[in-house]
């Protein structure tokens, strides 16, 4: 049996916990012509992925690693250092004037990402009915810590398929914008990262998008 607490000579009891590097991740999806107001970290595997303008889909393990919906489990706690994300195309980005594609799904075109950065916001909220976010900014503020580093020849890369892809900075852990002060989330506390487009649908967005958000940090879990 594991030792879970230590009683000191002075009567004090020290509870033992395991803290480990355990970023949380969660996915939302939206159609190109949809207004977005979606709560990530609001579901577990097997529950519906929050979607705007798209048919219902149940989450699989590549969508989230949350063990309970909308909150930190009662026997866990979390310290967040950073928010980062990856975007995947759910449809191709086509050139308006012809059949050629700028980016074939699951790639995200540079246009799509730039428009998301310009018209989308993220708000990280902790606690029930909290209107004050712990972190909030336009998407452009949060750089990309995971993703492909892409290289292409200067010539055509396919028949009827051009290439224009983008990432939010060169994907690297060093590229993540870290919170100057880490954000502590106590056990059983509600969390959400709200993904919104305050002005309505993103103008001229060319693709339906999957956005996988990460709360990078450490998690406390029971030792036994």
Partner 1 sequence: MAQQITKVRQPDGTVLRLADWTSSDPLYSTVEVAAGAFTVLQAFSYGLGGAVPGSATARNSDRLDTNLRGQGGKLPEDEALMLHGLAIEAFTVGVQDGGAAYFPVDDPHVSVLNMVRLQRDVIVTTRISAVKEYTRHPLSWFPAGSGVTEVNSLGLTEISGNGFAVANNGGDTPDDQRNFASPLLVQGGDPFTVDFTAGPGQVTGLDFQDAAGRIALRVTCNGPRKRPIA
Residues that bind partner 1 (CB under 8 A): 19-23, 25, 60-63, 65, 81, 86, 88, 104, 106-107, 146-158, 161, 163, 165, 170-174, 210, 212, 214, 217-218
Query: What's the closest the beta carbon of residue 21 comes to partner 1, in angstroms?
Result: 4
Which two three-digit tokens encode residue 162?
Answer: 């051009």
Q: Can you give the three-state secondary structure of 29-93, one letter per residue?
A: EECCCCCCEEEECCCCCCCECCEECCCCCECCCCCCCCCCCCECCCCCEEEEEEEEEEEEECCCE
Query: What's the closest the beta carbon of residue 81 comes to partner 1, in angstroms?
Result: 7
Query: What's the closest the beta carbon of residue 214 comes to partner 1, in angstroms?
Result: 8
Question: Closer CB to partner 1, residue 104 or residue 116?
Answer: 104
Question: Closer CB to partner 1, residue 119 or residue 191?
Answer: 191
Question: Closer CB to partner 1, residue 25 or residue 30?
Answer: 25
- Whole-angstrom distance, CA of residue 207 vs CA of residue 89: 6
Question: Closer CB to partner 1, residue 100 or residue 136?
Answer: 100
Question: Closer CB to partner 1, residue 11 or residue 61?
Answer: 61
Q: How many CA atoms lie within 13 A of 87 on its CB side?
A: 30
Query: What's the closest the beta carbon of residue 199 comes to partner 1, in angstroms?
Result: 28
Question: Closer CB to partner 1, residue 132 or residue 174?
Answer: 174
CA dihedral 183, 198, 167, 94 (to 10 degrees): 160
Query: What's the closest the beta carbon of residue 80 comes to partner 1, in angstroms?
Result: 11
Query: What's the closest the beta carbon of residue 148 comes to partner 1, in angstroms?
Result: 4
Q: Which residues contact 158 (CB under 8 A, 6 or more apart)?
A: none
CB 219 within 8 A of CB 20: yes
Phi, psi at residue 56, to the nearest 5°?
-60, 140
């Amino acid at each position: 049996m594991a030792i879970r607490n230590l009683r000191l000579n002075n009567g004090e009891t020290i509870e033992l916990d395991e803290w480990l590097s355990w970023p949380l991740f969660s996915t939302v999806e939206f159609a190109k012509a949809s207004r977005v107001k979606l709560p990530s970290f609001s579901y577990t595997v097997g529950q519906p992925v929050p979607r705007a303008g798209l048919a219902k889909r149940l989450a699989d393990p590549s969508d989230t690693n949350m063990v309970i919906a909308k909150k930190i489990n009662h026997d866990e706690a979390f310290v967040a250092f950073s928010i980062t994300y990856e975007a995947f195309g759910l449809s191709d980005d086509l050139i308006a004037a012809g059949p050629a594609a700028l980016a074939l799904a699951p790639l995200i075109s540079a246009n799509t990402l730039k428009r998301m950065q310009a018209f989308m916001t993220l708000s990280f909220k902790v606690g029930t009915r909290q209107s004050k976010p712990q972190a909030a900014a336009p998407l452009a503020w949060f750089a990309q810590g995971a993703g492909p580093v892409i290289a292409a020849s200067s010539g055509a890369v396919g028949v009827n398929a051009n290439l224009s892809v983008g990432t939010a900075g060169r994907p690297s852990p060093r590229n993540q914008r870290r919170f100057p002060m880490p954000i502590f989330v106590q056990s059983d506390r509600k969390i959400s990262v709200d993904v919104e487009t305050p002005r309505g649908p993103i103008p001229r967005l060319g693709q339906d998008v999957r956005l996988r958000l990460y709360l990078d940090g450490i998690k406390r879990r029971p030792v036994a």
